[in-house]
Structure formats: C-alpha cells, structure tokens
C-alpha cells in the first residue's frame, strides 16, 4: 500500500525546524538526515533532506533555498483539547518571529502556516441552535487567537435574545 507524507521546503534550517517541532509536540521524534558528500553540489556535511514524526504524522523536509516560500495554501491544523492547550501551541509557534493572522491562523518563524483550534470552536459553531452557531461564528471571524470564553459568551448572548 502506498504511503503519503507531507514534504516541506525550507531555506537551509531543516535541522532547526525538526528540533523545534519535535520538542514542541508530543508523539514526535527526529528521523534521519541526508547530507551532501564530498562530490555533492553543496558544502560537505550540509543537510539536504530529512524526516521526522510530529504528533504521530510522518513528515519530510528539504533544504531547497528561498525559491519556494511557504504560503497559506498549505497549513497544519492542530485541534486542541481546550483553551490552555491551544494557548500553549499558539504562544510557542508565534514566538521568536512568528506572526498572528486571523481566525486561529498563524505563521511560525519558519514561515509555515498553522491553524490552532480549540475543540470547543467546532462545538459552538455547530450548535443546533442556529442563532448560537451564527453568533459564535461571527465572534470567531473577529479573532486572531481563538478565545473560547468569548465565543461562548457570544453564543450565550444570542440564545438569551
């Protein structure tokens, strides 16, 4: 059976990327790195490619240079158990040069896009009461980091009207 693995292109910092992600997420570990040899086109010993496991998902990366930067067209979505877990990952991923975006999206310091979503967002947006679901959705559209308490307050205020 074939296997599918995301392959991500980085400038020249794959070892740092792998170290950061495998330290941050549980069920993660570095794999192997391939390096240029004496006859390769790059500096001997420099990492060309490598693999790692992140939250149980196998990933591959290459140090390909700056020609193809990351875009929001590819992102990792992390569904978190609660606000505290979402805040932990959000803070770590925007640290040291990452950027907040909107609606739970951010870019980490390596330029990779992430969606950090507390499970409660899906529950509130899928509320069987359409007024509550709409209010939660409208509140989410105004956020950068998802704030479960604010979502719940918006939904509760819609149901009391």
- In the chain, where are the structural domains located? 1-68, 70-161
- pLDDT over 80 (residue 39): no
Residue 71 near residue 107, CB atoms below 8 Å: no
pLDDT of residue 106 exceeding 90, the answer is yes
pLDDT band of residue 37 (cuts 50, 70, 90) is confident
Phi, psi of 110 (to 5 degrees): -95, 0
Average pLDDT over residues 100-125: 98
Q: How far apart are CA 91 and CA 100, in angstroms?
A: 10
Instruction: Record the tokens describing residue 35, joined without a space.
Output: 């390096």
- The dihedral through the CA atoms of 75, 79, 82, 88 has a sign that is negative
Element (H, E) at 115: strand 113-118
Question: What pLDDT digit, counting tens, does each position of 42-79 carry?
Answer: 788 999 999 999 999 999 999 999 999 999 999 999 99
Q: Angle at the Cα of 149 (from 143 to 152), degrees rounded to 5?
A: 95
| CATH number at 1-68 | 3.10.180.10
Task: Report which secondary-structure segment, H or E, holds 52.
Answer: strand 47-54
CA distance 136 to 141: 9
The predicted structure's pLDDT at residue 41: 77
Say what the pTM is.
Answer: 0.92
Read off the pLDDT of each residue in 13-22 and give the average, rounded to a whole number. 97
Helix or strand holding residue 65 (H, E): none
- What are 5's two structure tokens? 């693995």
CATH number of 70-161: 3.10.180.10, 3.40.50.2000, 3.20.20.70, 3.40.50.670?
A: 3.10.180.10
- Reply yes or no on whether the pLDDT at 26 is more than 80: yes
Q: Do the domains spanning 1-68 and 70-161 agree at the CATH topology level?
A: yes
| 40 has pLDDT over 80 | no
Is pLDDT larger for residue 37 or for residue 120?
120
Average the pLDDT over 134-161 and give the result.
94
Q: How confident is the model at residue 161 (pLDDT cuts 50, 70, 90)?
A: low
């Amino acid at each position: 059976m074939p296997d599918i693995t995301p392959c991500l292109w980085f400038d020249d910092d794959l070892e740092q990327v792998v170290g950061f992600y495998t330290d941050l997420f549980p069920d993660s570990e570095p794999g192997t790195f391939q390096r240029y040899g004496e006859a390769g086109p790059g500096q001997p010993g420099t990492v060309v490619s490598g693999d790692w496991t992140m939250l149980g998902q196998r990933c591959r990366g290459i140090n390909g240079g700056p020609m193809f930067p990351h875009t929001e067209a590819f992102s990792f979505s992390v569904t978190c158990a609660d606000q505290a877990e979402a805040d932990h990952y959000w803070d770590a991923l925007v640290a040291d040069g990452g950027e907040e975006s909107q609606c739970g999206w951010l870019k980490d310091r390596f330029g990779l896009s992430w969606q950090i979503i507390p499970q409660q967002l899906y529950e509130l947006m899928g509320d069987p009461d359409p007024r509550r679901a709409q209010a939660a959705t409208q509140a989410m559209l105004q956020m950068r980091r998802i704030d479960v308490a604010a979502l719940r307050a918006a939904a509760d205020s819609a149901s009391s009207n």
